[in-house]
Structure 1
Amino acid sequence: MNRRLLLAFAAVALLALTAGCTGLFGGGEFSEEELQGDSSTSYEWNASTDVRLNVTDGEYHAVYDLEDQSEIELYERESLGEETPVEVNTVRFRYPNGTVVTLGQDHVEKQNSRTVITPPADDGQLAFTAPHRGKSFSVPTYVEGSYEVVLPRGMRVGNFLLSQVRPGDYTTDLRDGRVHIVWPDVTADDVVVRYYLARDLTIFTGVIAGGILLAIIGLAYFRLQIRQLEREREEMGLNVDTSDDEFDQGPPPGMG
């Protein structure tokens, strides 16, 4: 019994030691290689909005205009509502004079459920790349102002059954096969876009049309069967008109 207790305590101690070492040596932190990222990555520094989110297959590029902001905390909301740090890479900062620098580990770190970025200046533009998957895009509004979301090529919004855009008061524009969604002023907590592939609408319309056609055919067949049953009843003499039945003499005397 004592041996089992000792083994249990040893296992707990090993787990605690492992967790301590992970925290001590920066486990889960961003590497300099990740923050440097792909040197060929280009960001849209001259966008007309305060925030530009360019969504592509597998990732998105974000550019934020910062004004008097010494820190920004990035996080994602999972399906169950918990918050997790955004796995950023290729992090850049652009000074007002146009100089672009890479932000390393001294400016980017994970703290609990957030990715905390401390820019080298309070004013400027912050850009990063982060992973993305699926046909929906959601991001908290870390800064207020105008927002633009650029959807992947071939994706669309507009059909209320297949897409959703929040908040309202937005405009859409199709340029070079990509939909640009612009909000002039966002004060909501999140920007949410659920979109669909352009050909999905054709497939969806075809399915609906096919369903309606099948319903019409089914209704016609049902009515045909009803009429056939009526004819069979008539042939069998089951539908007899008794309105002039000789036994129907009307009400008893004195009650007519």
Structure 2
Amino acid sequence: MRRKHLLALGALVLAAALAGCGFGSSEIPEDQLNEQATYDWDTSADATFNISRSSYATVVNVSNETVEVWQRDAIEGDNPVNLRALQYRYENGTVVNASHGNLSATRDGDKTQISVPEAGGKVAYTASRSGKQFSTPVFIEGSHEVILPPGARVGIPLLSQVSPGNWNSTVENDRMTVRWGNLSDETINTRYYLERDLLIFAALAIIALLVGTVGGLYYFRQIRGLESQREEIDIDIDYDDDDFGDDGPPPGM
């Protein structure tokens, strides 16, 4: 009986620990939500993700008073977004931050719940990121766009990849924007390269070509030199002049 009680107590402790590690609800600190940020509210897409080197800014049209956002990891699965600089713009253009009583965000399980003052406006937030790849699940239905960092591009196989398909892109002020007309439940994946990467790859290719050419000429000259030496010392034997079929007398006679 004592062993059963210990097992039950251990299960309760484990459940409590898991609840404290992200399976329960937790408020995002107010100072984090009230951080300063400037957003481009005049976007034409229903969801816009503006990527920089270490973060991305999201501006989303909201049709309800609650929006669920999350991020997807290939190893850990779905996780809540640890967002900051939360803002909301009313349809009349008034912008408020999280100090407004009706704008808040809570991590709830594997998602982040954003409560907005009213449906019909736009909500914006900032979150951290890194690397030359951006991925996000589609959490609202409609048009989407991803604005790449300055000098970043997609379109060359092996160096970049974009999914889902049926996308188009434009470049303005050295920034490429990738757009989708209508998405519902897909996952956006954008792996990009920098234009300077192409210069590096081109330089490496030219160096490799030069090294290969010089090396080939060197070995060709070495082979020609060996052939010349063989001819000088008469090692290059001509077997057509040997008379192996002669029935003449044996050597010495």
**TM-score normalised to the size of structure 1?**
0.77
- Match of residue 118 from structure 1: 115
Closer, same or farther: CA 106–158 of 1 in aligned 2, 3 Å: closer
| 1:6-45 to 2 correspondences below 5 Å | 19=17, 29-38=27-36, 41-45=37-41
Please state how far the C-alpha of 1:21 moved relative to its aligned partner.
Answer: 11
Output aligned runs, 1:22-101, within 5 Å. Answer: 29-38=27-36, 41-67=37-63, 69-78=64-73, 80-101=75-96
Secondary structure of the residue that 1:225 maps to in structure 2? helix
2:146 equivalent in structure 1: 149
* Alignment-mate amino acid for residue 40 of structure 2: E
Q: Kindly indicate whether residue 223 of structure 2 is the aligned counterpart of residue 219 of structure 1.
A: no
* Stretch deviating more after TM superposition (120-129 or 131-140): 120-129
Gaps of 5+ in 2: 1-9, 247-253
Where does residue 4 of structure 2 map in the other structure?
Answer: none
Gapped runs of 5+ residues in structure 1?
1-11, 250-256
Cα offsets for 1:21-40 (capped at 9, x unmatched)? 968xx9953112222221xx
**Contact between 2:132 and 2:192, CA under 8 Å: does it hold in 1?**
yes
Normalised by the length of structure 2, the TM-score is 0.78
Code of the residue aligned with 1:86 in structure 2: it is: V
Equivalent position of 1:186 in the other structure: 183
Tell me by how many angstroms 1:187 deviates. Answer: 4.5
Q: Which AA in structure 2 matches 1:51?
A: A
Kindly report the root-mean-square deviation, in angstroms, between the aligned alpha carbons of the 2 structures: 3.2
Distance 2:142 2:103 in 1: 28
The total of aligned residue pairs comes to: 237
1:188 CA displacement? 5.9
In structure 2, give the amino acid aligned to 1:216: T
What secondary structure, in the 3-state scheme, does the structure 1 residue paired with 2:60 have?
strand
AA at the equivalent of 2:59: V
Which residue type is aligned with residue 42 of structure 2?
N
Give the Cα–Cα distance (whole angstroms) in 1 for the partners of residues 195 and 163 of structure 2.
20
Tell me the distance in 1 between the aligned counterparts of 2:43 and 2:240. Answer: 85
Give the whole-Å Cα distance in 1 for the aligned partners of 2:103 and 2:185: 31
**CA spacing shift, 1:105–1:98, aligned 2, 3 Å:** closer
Q: Percent identity?
A: 35
